[in-house]
Structure 1
Amino acid sequence: MAYIMDTNEEERLKGKTVEVGRAHFETETTRFTILDAPGHKSYVPNMISGASQADIGVLVISARKGEFETGYEKGGQTREHVLLAKTLGVSKLIVVINKMDEPTVKWSKERYDEIESKMAPFLRASGYNVKKDVHFLPISGLLGTNMKTRMDKSICSWWDGPCLFEVLDRIEVPLRDPKGPVRMPIIDKYKDMGTVVMGKIESGTIREGDSLLVMPNKTNVKVIGISLDEHKVRRAGPAENVRVKLSGIEDEDIMAGFVLSSVANPVGAVTEFNAQLQILELLDNAIFTAGYKAVLHIHSVVEECEIVDLIEEIDMKKKKDADPKKKKPKRKPLFVKNGAVVVCRIQVNNLICIENFSDFPQLGRFTLRTEGKTVAVGKVVAVPPAGNPTFSA
């Protein structure tokens, strides 16, 4: 069944997802785009690319003995994926406990409850409101049980909750501004009687005939076609995954991470910015200080970066209890440890398109990775003024 989503030879030979698969389906009320992100730790950068475009996360957990435990233990992929999903803006999570039909599980309520009771505190610690934003349900992906329709009591006597499609239909996704400035991070491009770019519209509405900018190279382009789920449309709005055909630019002049942007209010293009970072877990013997190097993942951008200055360490406990009228002097650290929250200045070699998290969350949240491990998550808190891609000293 994985052949449906895993279409390249590497995936079919290895039996695991490598690229981010893309498919569409509709319920009676909603049209969904599935972004099938890889779960294997070697392909986390591809998972980040998929998750950065998603509104809802469906976290698939195996109920089979040993498989859940392997993903959940320290350093396991379940833990890293939950953390990345939250950081990348996936605000709603459905935890589907799969393989409940497996002979060693046999729709066991005890096994289901065990997994839910272990996952809930971890999800809470990762920033999710478990009561409001997380849904748990049992399924069998192999048999399709409890996915499209509610399962019969003869299969599972103790479950009287909804099926997966019901949960998907009920979830309220964050509203975006259809009248705002156009922001569409480009995840891929190809040539087809013109240049076609793919991505998810995060803000604004794109119409056939529009004049837009491809940033950061400031190229003026014209929209000559829009496709949605392989159907041609005249316009598309926020949260839509689209293919936009452009004139005025060649496909070799576009890279993943560029942003399709409105002319009147273009996205910022910078080589330096200030960020608030939470350090998760550094590699052994690593010190987080000025000069620290990592790989920055922000929307569809992947760039090497360097921490050039630690500005302030924030004590989150004291911040909660602090009197806002009493301003204390900033604590400028020389280095910080695991678990610290710090405001720092980050520098990259090439111009990248980002926004303040408070203005456009999807273009302002990011992760830092090094040697295949996520070491920090953060948000952009200050970008240089337009026309000046770096801060003055």
Structure 2
Amino acid sequence: AGKSTAGGQILFLSGQVDDRTIQKYEKEAKDKSRESWYMAYIMDTNEEERAKGKTVEVGRAHFETETTRFTILDAPGHKSYVPNMISGASQADIGVLVISARKGEFETGYERGGQTREHVLLAKTLGVSKLVVVINKMDESTVGWSKERYDEIEGKMVPFLKSSGYNVKKDVHFLPISGLLGTNMKTRMDKSNCSWWSGPCLFEVLDCIQVPLRDPKGPVRMPIIDKYKDMGTVVMGKIESGTISEGDNMLVMPNKANVKVISVHCDEDRVRSAAPGENVRVKLSGIEEDDITAGFVLSSIKNPVSAISEFRAQLQILELLDNAIFTAGYKAVLHIHSVVEECEIVELIEEIDLKRRKEGDIKKKKSKRKPLFVKNGAVVVCRVQVNNLICIENFSEFPQLGRFTLRTEGITSNRTQISHDFECVCLSKLL
């Protein structure tokens, strides 16, 4: 669809990449007979991605507008790399959904089982409440900045976004762009290109979106997404709550390791402290790199994150593999912040009838019953068990650590289907 090309163009337009580097990438792409891929090379750095023309890992980069500093998480779109996409989306405040206007490409992604549909559902359940839908490749000769094509795609996406839980009027923005040419990205569209568009450009839309507020004085919660050695142990992640400062004593959970913060880096700059919402690198003493795994959480000592192996959750079943039934004993893969862990549903506690709940029947307890199984579309409260201790929190207190997705994969067809979450409520705490 052009996600990496759009990401590369953003970095170029914001001055993060110079002309000489662009010329180098143009030559590399031309040598591989892939002239139009050169902007994607800025984000897709490994040879597999460049050879296949598809993102595999979550690319990470930074840029600034006049008012805001952004971290780009270039998540894979291909169905084989959905777990990597989940890792990227779980760290994001804003989702930029890139859709190709080229005939056939939008339709393939949007049809039942297509990746556009799955990514919208995943983004919503992973907490990405703000969505920018960019209709890309509008400059293609077969599209030609056609208002009819733009309206057709928007007309099909709006009902689906509403059914996925998005408030389209409040939280979703649509706009046409050309990621390859950079049209309508940093500056508004020239009327000679597209006479019918009078709306904002991408940078303006991103600047005006209000991201969720986080508590800088709250207990520290930083899910660790990666680690490496560099004259000590360095961990990477996004601060979801609290402030991390040089000299702080903290815990790495769930292994309860006492550590000290040696330094904090935002982007390439060393800082004395970092607040919620920042993507940071933190150098620690008191722990070896081998003793840390993605999914661990850097946490306050006085108020540490919960580490548990069983919890109670409310889930909405969106789609079951081959229309299977969801019952006790059902196994899936759980994705929560940076944790990926096999899990089992050990008990269905109650099924919730949302229609009756809305009508006020919940007081009469007519909306609840303990089921043996549920099917697609059901909302159910259940107990979930994992093999290893994981760090999670009550959804009401720390939404990003209490919101999760369950996925099952077909062994033979390798099709990915999703069933998933709304809230996670701790049943027990093993600290």
Q: Is TM > 0.5 for Structure 1 vs Structure 2?
A: yes
Report percent identity of matched pairs.
Answer: 84
Task: Look up the match of 1:62.
Answer: 100
Amino acid at match of 2:172: V
Cα distance in 2 for partners of 1:313, 1:299 equals: 26
One of 106, 115, 118 as aligned partner of 2:156: 118
How do residues 153-172 of structure 1 correspond to structure 2 at under 5 angstroms? Answer: 153-172=191-210
Q: Is the 8 A contact 2:55 2:77 kept in 1?
A: yes
CA deviation profile, 1:124-147 (whole Å, cap 9, x unmatched):
110000000000000000100000
Task: Look up the match of 1:103.
Answer: 141
Q: Is the 8 A contact 2:108 2:114 kept in 1?
A: yes
Cα distance in 2 for partners of 1:255, 1:6 equals: 25
Task: Report how far residue 219 of structure 1 moved.
Answer: 0.3
Task: Report how far residue 217 of structure 1 moved.
Answer: 0.2
- Is 1:346 aligned to 2:389, yes or no? no
- Residues 39 and 156 from structure 1, CA distance in 2 versus in 1: closer, same or farther, beyond 3 angstroms? same
TM-score (norm 2): 0.88
Query: Where in structure 2 are there 5+ consecutive unaligned residues?
Result: 1-38, 410-414
Task: Look up the match of 2:426.
Answer: 383
Task: Report how far residue 329 of structure 1 moved.
Answer: 7.7
Q: Is the 8 A contact 1:308 1:347 kept in 2?
A: yes
How do residues 273-284 of structure 1 correspond to structure 2 at under 5 angstroms? Answer: 273-284=311-322
One of 118, 124, 128 as aligned partner of 1:90: 128
- Is 1:75 aligned to 2:75, yes or no? no
- More moved, 363-372 vs 180-189: 363-372
- Is 1:249 aligned to 2:294, yes or no? no
Task: Look up the match of 1:326.
Answer: 364
Q: Is the 8 A contact 2:353 2:368 kept in 1?
A: no
How do residues 234-313 of structure 1 correspond to structure 2 at under 5 angstroms? Answer: 234-284=272-322, 286-313=324-351
Task: Look up the match of 2:416.
Answer: 373
- Residues 281 and 385 from structure 1, CA distance in 2 versus in 1: closer, same or farther, beyond 3 angstroms? closer
- Is 1:211 aligned to 2:249, yes or no? yes
User: Could you say what secondary structure the match of 2:154 adopts?
Assistant: helix
Cα distance in 2 for partners of 1:78, 1:197 equals: 32
Task: Report how far residue 385 of structure 1 moved.
Answer: 4.3
Cα distance in 2 for partners of 1:121, 1:144 equals: 29
Equivalent residues, number = 388
CA deviation profile, 1:69-94 (whole Å, cap 9, x unmatched):
00000000000000000001111000
CA deviation profile, 1:203-227 (whole Å, cap 9, x unmatched):
0000000001000000000000111
Q: Is the 8 A contact 1:63 1:105 kept in 2?
A: yes
- Residues 150 and 268 from structure 1, CA distance in 2 versus in 1: closer, same or farther, beyond 3 angstroms? same
More helix by share: 2
Cα distance in 2 for partners of 1:375, 1:341 equals: 14
User: Could you say what secondary structure the match of 2:369 adopts?
Assistant: coil
Amino acid at match of 1:291: G
Task: Look up the match of 1:132.
Answer: 170
Cα distance in 2 for partners of 1:66, 1:337 equals: 32
Q: Is the 8 A contact 2:137 2:179 kept in 1?
A: yes
RMSD of aligned residue pairs (Cα, Å)? 1.2
Amino acid at match of 2:425: A
Task: Look up the match of 2:87.
Answer: 49
Task: Report how far residue 286 of structure 1 moved.
Answer: 2.4
CA deviation profile, 1:6-63 (whole Å, cap 9, x unmatched):
1112111111000000001000100000000000000000000000000000000000
Q: Is the 8 A contact 2:183 2:189 kept in 1?
A: yes
How do residues 187-206 of structure 1 correspond to structure 2 at under 5 angstroms? Answer: 187-206=225-244
Amino acid at match of 1:383: C
TM-score (norm 1): 0.97
Task: Look up the match of 1:391.
Answer: none
- More moved, 113-122 vs 325-334: 325-334
Task: Report how far residue 387 of structure 1 moved.
Answer: 3.8
Q: Is the 8 A contact 1:368 1:374 kept in 2?
A: no
Task: Report how far residue 384 of structure 1 moved.
Answer: 3.5
Task: Look up the match of 2:33.
Answer: none
Cα distance in 1 for partners of 2:417, 2:237 equals: 24
Q: Is the 8 A contact 1:367 1:374 kept in 2?
A: no
Q: Is the 8 A contact 1:82 1:126 kept in 2?
A: yes
